[in-house]
Amino acid sequence: MSSEISKTSKNGSGCPVMHGGMTKSSQTPTAEWWPKNLNLDILHQHDTKTNPMDEKFDYKEEVKKLDFKAVKKDLLKLMTDSQDWWPADLGHYGGLFIRMAWHSAGTYRIADGRGGSGTGNHRFAPLNSWPDNTNLDKARRLIWPIKKKYGNKISWADLMILAGNMAYESMGLKMYGFSFGREDIWHPEKDVYWGSEKEWLENKRYDNNDDRTSLKNPLAAVVMGLIYVNPEGVGGKPDPLKTAYDVRETFGRMAMNDEETCALTVGGHSVGRAHGNGDASLLGPEPEAADVHEQGFGWNRKGGGGLGVNQVTSGIEGAWTTHPNKWDHSYLNLLLNYDWELKKSPAGANQWEPINMKDEDKPIDLADPSVKRNPIMTDADMAMKMDPIYREIAERFHKDPKYLEETFAKAWFKLTHRDLGPKKYYVGPDVPKEDLIWQDPVPAGKDFDVEKAKKLIEATGLSSSEMIATAWDSARTYRRTDHRGGANGARLRLAPQKDWAGNEPKRLNNVLGKLEKVAKETGASVADIIILAGNVGLEQSIKKAGLNVKVPFVAGRGDATQEQTDVDSFKVLEPVHDAFRNWAKEEYLVTTEEMMLDRSSLMGLSAKEMTVLVGGMRVLDTNHGGTKHGVFTDNPGALTNDFFVNLTDMKFKWKPASKDLYEIIDRATDVTKFTATRVDLVFGSNSILRSYAEVYAQDDNKEKFVRDFVNAWTKVMNADRQELKKAH
C-alpha cells in the first residue's frame, strides 16, 4: 500500500500525519509511471457509480410531475431579484443566465457527440474552472433556490438551459421551444479529451497555425479553456477576417451552418454585457484551485470587491447594444452603421469601440444611469461585419428582423438540444411539433409475427456470420453521447452508410436484398428484420456450441427515408475502425486498442462488456472481409469461449509478423496455429483486461460467457431504444 506523510506548512503550523489514501488526483502514479497504459477508466464510468438518487429513480418520469408553469414563473421573477452578494447588471440577471445556458450547451462537438447540455457536466471540472466560464458558478448559485424548491423534479442540466430560455423570454424574445429530460451526472466525465495543453488559453490545437482548418479533431474550441474563439482575436491579436475562420470552423464542429452561426452571434450579443472594469491580475484562483472558503465560488477578486461595476469576467468591458436588458435590434444597427476602432478595456483587453457614436445609441453606465458609455464589439462580432459571407447574412437579418428572430430562436433550440436524441423522447409542454432533420426523425415501427419472420430469415440461406455482422454494423454507430446512430431507422440501407467501407457494401447489398423481402412479406420494418436476423444467426451459433440460450428481441424500430437523413451530418458517424470486427480503414497514429476504448466508451460499454463482445465476435467469424485474425478456434461460427482459452494458454507464444500483426505459435511444434492483431492480444497482455479474459477462459464459465455475450449484444442492439431503458 502506498502511503503519504503530509508535510508541515511553511510556517510550521501543520503536524505530519501518515495516511494511506490516494486523496489527491496528482498522487495517482499510474499515468506518470506508465504513460502508455490503457485508460480503462473511460469504460469504468459505465459501471455502477455513486449516485445520491435512489436506485429506481427515473428522471424522465419524475420530471413529468413538475409544475412547468410554476417553475417558469419563478425563473421570470428571479431575473430581476438582484442579490447583494452578486448584483444583477442594471437589475437584470438575464445576460448572466443566457451565458450560463450557452456555455453549458456550447461544449457540444459533432465529431464524437461529447459535451453539450445533456448531463449537467458544467458543475464539474474542468468546465467549472475554464477561464471562459468565469463566474458561472455564481449563476448556478443564484438559481439554487429554484433547484432546492423543485428538487428531484428538475435536474441541474434542465434548469441551466431553462434559465437561459426564460431570460430571453423576460427580455422580449419569443423562443422556439424547450424540452425537459436532461439527466444529471454525479462525477466528472473521464472520457472527454479537452486538449493536450498544460496551461489555460494555451494554443496547441492547430497542426499549422496559419491554416485555421487544421484544428485537431474532435476538439471544437480553438484554445484550452474557451467555448469557441478568443474574443480578443486569434492568439489575442485582433484580426476579424482571421477570427471569422475560427468562428466558422468551430461552429461547424457544433453542427451549425453559416446562417445559424451568424444568428447565434447576433442573438447572443443582443442582450447582456461583458465585464472588464478592473485589474485582471487581482483575480483569485479558479474554482477547483481555490481554498475551501472560495472553492466552487471562485474567480473572486483578491482583497474583496469586484462586484457589479468593478467586475472582471472576460476582461472586455461594456454592452453590445443600446439597451442590454431587452431584446431589440440595435446590435446590427450599431455594428453595420458605425465604424469601429481598436481600444483597450480597463482590464487591458482588446476590444472594438465606435467612432463618433450618437449619444442616443450609447448604453448607460452600469453605476450611473446619467452617464452614457461606448458599446463594444469583440473580434468575433467584427467578423460578422468584415467576412463577406457573414456580412451578407447579417445584412439580410438587418433588413428582416422577424427572420432574424425566427432563425436565432431555432438555432438556439438546436444549440441547447443537439445532444438530446430523437424528439419522441422530449418532455414537457413546450416541445415543438415540427420535425427537424438534425433530430434524425424515424417513423414509428410496426407490429409483425416475429416467429414467422424468423422462419423466413432462416430460409434465406444467409450464414450466421453474415446476419450477425450486418446487425452489428447497423447498431454499432450509436453514440450514447448525443444519442445519434444505431439500428433504428435502418439507415444502413441509405446514403451515406450503404457505401461506407466498414459496412462491406457488396456483402451488405446482398444481405439487405434478402432481408428486405422478409420485411415486405411480414409487414415488418427493415430495421427490425436486420436486428432479428442478427439474433437468429446468434441463436444458431449458440446451438452450434451445444447450448440453448434465447436472444431477446423487442420490435418497434421504424424505417427512415433518405429525405429524413442529413447526409452531411451522418458522415461523422462513419467507422474508421472496428475492433469488434477486427478492422481498421487505414493506419493511424493512435493504436487500435486505444481506438477500441474510445468506440466502446461512445457505445456505453463497460470493460467487461467490451471484452466479452470482442471474444464472441471472433469465434462467430464476423471479421471484416472474412479475415481469420483472432479467430482462435477450430470451430468457427460456434459461440464458444475458445478465444479466451487459446489467448491465455501458455502452450502458445506470440511473435510479431508485421505492423499490428502477430503469429500465435505452438511452442512444442513451432507451427503457427493462429494469427492475431493488437486488439486481439491486448486482452491477454493488459493486466486488467487479462483478468476478465481469464474469467471467461475458465472451464466452469462456458455458459456464463454465452449469457454475458447475449446480454452485451442485446444492449448494443437496443442502445437507441430509449423507450426500453433510462436515458443514461
Q: 215 - beta bridge partners?
A: 206
- Residue 2 is predicted with a pLDDT of 38
Which amino acid makes up residue 240?
A: P
Q: Omega of the bond prior to 126 within 30 degrees of 0, cis?
A: yes
Choose, from 19, 44, 46, 103, the residue flagged as catalytic: 103
- Residue 13 is predicted with a pLDDT of 59
- Looking up cell 502511503 gives 3
- Residue 33 is predicted with a pLDDT of 61
Q: Contacts from 449-454 at CB under 8 Å and sequence distance 24+? A: 449/522, 450/532, 450/553, 450/555, 452/522, 453/518, 453/522, 453/524, 453/529, 453/532, 454/532, 454/536
Spatial distance between the Cα atoms of 581 and 693, rounded to a whole number of angstroms? 18
- Residue 290 is predicted with a pLDDT of 86
pLDDT tens per residue across span 667-724: 999 999 999 999 999 999 999 999 999 999 999 999 999 999 999 999 999 999 988 8
Q: What pTM, to 2 d.p., does this model score?
A: 0.94
Residue 35, helix vs strand vs coil? coil
- Residue 7 is predicted with a pLDDT of 41
- Looking up cell 434465447 gives 550
Please list, in sequence order, all residues whose beta carbon lies within 8 angstroms of the beta carbon of residue 401, skipping any fewer than 6 positions away: 329
SS3 content of the chain, % helix, strand, coil (to 5): 45, 10, 45
Instruction: Give the orientation angle of helix 379-386 with respect to helix 330-337, to 10 degrees.
Output: 70
Question: What is the length of the chain?
Answer: 728
Rounded to an integer, what is the distance from CA 456 to the centroid of its chain? 40
Spatial distance between the Cα atoms of 385 and 262, rounded to a whole number of angstroms? 10
417 catalytically annotated: no
- Residue 530 is predicted with a pLDDT of 98
Q: 676 - beta bridge partners?
A: 662
Q: Contacts from 450-455 at CB under 8 Å and sequence distance 24+? A: 450/532, 450/553, 450/555, 452/522, 453/518, 453/522, 453/524, 453/529, 453/532, 454/532, 454/536
Name the stretches of the chain with pLDDT < 50. Answer: 1-11, 23, 727-728
- Grid cell of 552 as nine digits: 431477446
- Grid cell of 639 as nine digits: 459461440
Q: How many CA atoms lie within 13 A of 107 on its CB side?
A: 27
Which amino acid makes up residue 252?
A: G
- Residue 63 is predicted with a pLDDT of 98
DSSP assignments along 443-470, one per residue: -------HHHHHHHHHTT---HHHHHHH
